[in-house]
């Protein structure tokens, strides 16, 4: 996060859906298995929500892989619909008294006690102090080595051109912007 806050483009190599909460105009996810960049538009297309709603969606749905309890019967589609209508988890909870009777409403009311725990388990701490050493080049050297071991050909297309790594390829959005 700190690197992105300094104006740099960041590609996080992961397919972990929890990391979708980190997406913004500077931070994208790169799924190496699918060779795909995942940003704000892709999140909206896939889940129908914005990055600032990911924690609320995962709080509602839970995550069995990470042992995060969710609301029984609430999947991604239902959670996204609730968040599209009420914007936040707090908005969903505030609207419960006026919602039509439904199984989803009943399940949220019955399981509302787990929401605080689920929210804490899902939310990533973005303020962890790390002394990475971006300025002295040591991190770039380590990243270069990892990228080469991971077959830098596909990875290279996901990295921003100013990241300091010497790989072939360009950041896909940069290519699209340059072609306009």
pTM of the entire predicted model: 0.77
Instruction: Collect all residues with Cβ–Cβ distance below 8 Å to 94 and sequence separation of at least 6.
Output: 86
Domain that holds residue 61: 48-122
Mean pLDDT score across all residues of the chain: 82
pLDDT tens digit sequence for 39-50? 999 999 999 999
Check which CATH number belongs to the domain holding 57 and give it. 1.10.150.20
Among the candidates 122, 139, 161, a domain finishes at 122
Burial of 12 (0-12, 13-18, 19+ CB in 10 A): middle
Residue 67 and residue 110 in one domain: yes
Cross-strand pairs, 38: 29
Among the candidates 122, 148, 170, a domain finishes at 122
User: What does DSSP assign to residue 171?
Assistant: -
Backbone angles phi, psi at 38, to 5 degrees: -125, 115
Q: Beta-strand (E) ranges in 58-156?
A: none
Determine the average pLDDT of the residues in 65-76. 95
Number of domains observed in the structure of the chain? 2
Determine the average pLDDT of the residues in 95-122. 95
Determine the average pLDDT of the residues in 148-171. 51
- What tokens does 63 get? 């995550």
Cα–Cα distance between 20 and 147 in angstroms, integer? 22
pLDDT of residue 156: 52
pLDDT of 175 over the 50 cut: no
Residue 85 and residue 150 in one domain: no
Residue 59 and residue 96 in one domain: yes
Q: Mapping DSSP to helix (H, G, I), strand (E, B) and coil, where does residue 143 land? A: helix
pLDDT tens digit sequence for 140-153? 666 667 666 665 55
87's enclosing H/E stretch is: none
Residue 100 and residue 117 in one domain: yes
Q: Beta-strand (E) ranges in 32-174?
A: 36-38
- What tokens does 40 get? 């704000």
pLDDT band at 179 (very low <50, low <70, confident <90, very high): very low
- What tokens does 28 get? 């994208």
Nearest Cα neighbor of 92 from 101, 105, 103 is: 105
């Amino acid at each position: 996060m700190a690197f992105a806050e300094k104006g740099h483009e960041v590609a996080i190599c992961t397919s972990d859906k929890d990391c979708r909460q980190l997406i913004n105009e500077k931070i994208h996810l790169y799924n190496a298995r699918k060779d795909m960049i995942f940003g704000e538009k892709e999140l909206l297309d896939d889940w129908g929500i914005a990055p600032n709603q990911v924690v609320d969606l995962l709080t509602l749905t839970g995550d069995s892989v990470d042992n995060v309890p969710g609301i029984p019967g609430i999947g991604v589609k239902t959670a996204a619909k609730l968040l599209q209508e009420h914007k936040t988890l707090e908005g969903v909870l505030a609207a419960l008294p006026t919602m039509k009777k439904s199984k989803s409403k009943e399940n949220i009311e019955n399981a509302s006690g787990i929401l605080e725990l689920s929210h804490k388990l899902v939310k990533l701490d973005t303020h962890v102090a790390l002394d990475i050493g971006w300025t002295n080049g040591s991190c770039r050297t380590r990243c270069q080595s990892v990228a080469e071991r991971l077959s830098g050909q596909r990875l290279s297309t996901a990295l921003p051109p100013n990241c300091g790594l010497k790989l072939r390829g360009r950041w896909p959005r940069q290519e699209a912007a340059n072609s306009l």
